[in-house]
Structure 1
Amino acid sequence: MLKLILLTLLIAAVVGMGWVRLAPNDPARWHLDPRRVARPTTPNFHLLRMGDGDAPAPIFDTAPTALAERLHEVALADGATLLAGRVSEGHMTYRTRSRVMGFPDYTSVFIEPAGDGSVLTAFARARYGYSDMGANRARLEAWVAALSD
C-alpha cells in the first residue's frame, strides 16, 4: 500500500513538472503595457514605473531604439526568450524560467523617449505561486545594472 501511495505521488510530481514546462504561453495574456497594468495583490512581481512602482522607472542617456536593442541582448544573455512584441517598437515581453524547477516568469518592458534619453518601464511577474522569493526583483535589477554599465 505504501509503495502504491509513493508511486502515485511520484507520478503526480512528474505530471506537475511536465505541466509547468509544457503549459502554453498565450502572448495575449502576458504581453502587457507596464505603464497601465494594475498592481497584483500577491508579492510575486516587481514593477518599475513612475508614481506607484516598487522602484522608479530608470532613465537612461540613450535613444529608445538603442536602449531596446541593448535590453534585448541583456535579456537573451540571461536566458530569456522573446514571447511577444518587437524590439523596434520598444515594447517586448520575455519569458524566463527558474533554474531548478523551470517555473515561468514574464517580464514586459516598454521603452519610450524621456528628454534626450529614454525611460524603461517594466513589469516582471511569476505565472505560478504566491511568492517568487524576490526572483523578479533580482532579475530586473540585474538587467537595469547591465544596461547602466
Structure 2
Amino acid sequence: MVVRFTGLIDHMLPAGEPPKFTFAPDTPVPQTRNFFVACPDDLLPKTDRSMQSPHFNAAASTLADVMIETAPAHGMTAKTGVSGAEPGRLYFLARSPIFHFPDWVEVELVLPEKGGDISFCLFAQSVYGLDDIQQNEKRTRAWIADVTKLMHGK
C-alpha cells in the first residue's frame, strides 16, 4: 500500500503571496541565494543570478499562451486570482518534486514602445530556505528554452 501526503504537505508548506518584484536595473535583489531573474538587458537588476530574456516577433497574448502551455512540463501551474495582480503579469507556482517546497515565478510582459519585439521579465524565488541550489535557474533556463522553441515555430 502506498500512502501519499502530497495534499497534506502542500498545506503544511503554504506558498503565501508572490513577491511582486519590481523589474529595473537599480532594484535591490534578495541577499539570499534562492532566486533567479531574467529580463531584457536594459531592465536587468545587477546580480550574478540572472540572464537576458529573449525577444519575439509576436503578440503578447501568444507569448502568454505559450508560457502557460509549457509551464506544467517544468512543474509549474499558472495562478489566477493573485491579490493585487497587475495587467501584463503572469504568476506561476512551482513545487519541488519530492517535498513540494513552493517557489513563485512572476512574469511581466515587456511590450515594445513602438514596433519591435515583445520580451518579458521573470523573477523566480523559493518561498522557504536561503539557497535553492540553483533550482530556480535550472527551471527558468529549461522553460525559456521550451518557450523559445515554440515561439519560433509560430
For Structure 1 versus Structure 2, the TM-score category normalised by the shorter chain is 0.7 to 0.9
Q: Deviations over 1:2-43 (max 9, x none)?
A: xxxxxxxxxxxxxxx9875214433xx316245256411101
Consecutive unaligned residues in structure 2, runs of 5 or more: 1-5, 150-154
AA aligned opposite 1:35: F
Rounded Cα–Cα distance in structure 2 between residues aligned with 1:34 and 1:72: 21
Kindly indicate whether the alpha-carbon contact (under 8 Å) linking 1:74 and 1:143 is maintained by their aligned counterparts in 2: yes
Q: Secondary structure at the match of 1:55?
A: strand
Structure 1 residue 128: Cα displacement: 0.5
Structure 1 residue 61: Cα displacement: 2.1
Corresponding residue of 1:143: 143
Q: Deviations over 1:63-92 (max 9, x none)?
A: 211001100101133331222469xx4311
The equivalent position to 2:67 in structure 1, one of 48, 58, 71, is 71
Consecutive unaligned residues in structure 1, runs of 5 or more: 1-16
C-alpha RMSD over aligned residues: 2.5
Distance 1:40 1:25, change over 3 A: same
TM-score by length of 2: 0.72
Kindly indicate whether the alpha-carbon contact (under 8 Å) linking 1:64 and 1:117 is maintained by their aligned counterparts in 2: no
TM-score by length of 1: 0.74
Which aligned segments of 4 or more residues in structure 1 are displaced greater than 6 angstroms? none
Instruction: Pick the structure with greater CA Rg.
Output: 1
Corresponding residue of 1:21: 10
Matched residue count: 129
1:46 paired to 2:39:
no
Kindly indicate whether the alpha-carbon contact (under 8 Å) linking 1:85 and 1:93 is maintained by their aligned counterparts in 2: no
Distance 1:74 1:18, change over 3 A: closer
Corresponding residue of 1:5: none
The equivalent position to 1:80 in structure 2, one of 68, 76, 89, is 76
- Larger proportion of helix: 1
Kindly indicate whether the alpha-carbon contact (under 8 Å) linking 1:46 and 1:123 is maintained by their aligned counterparts in 2: yes
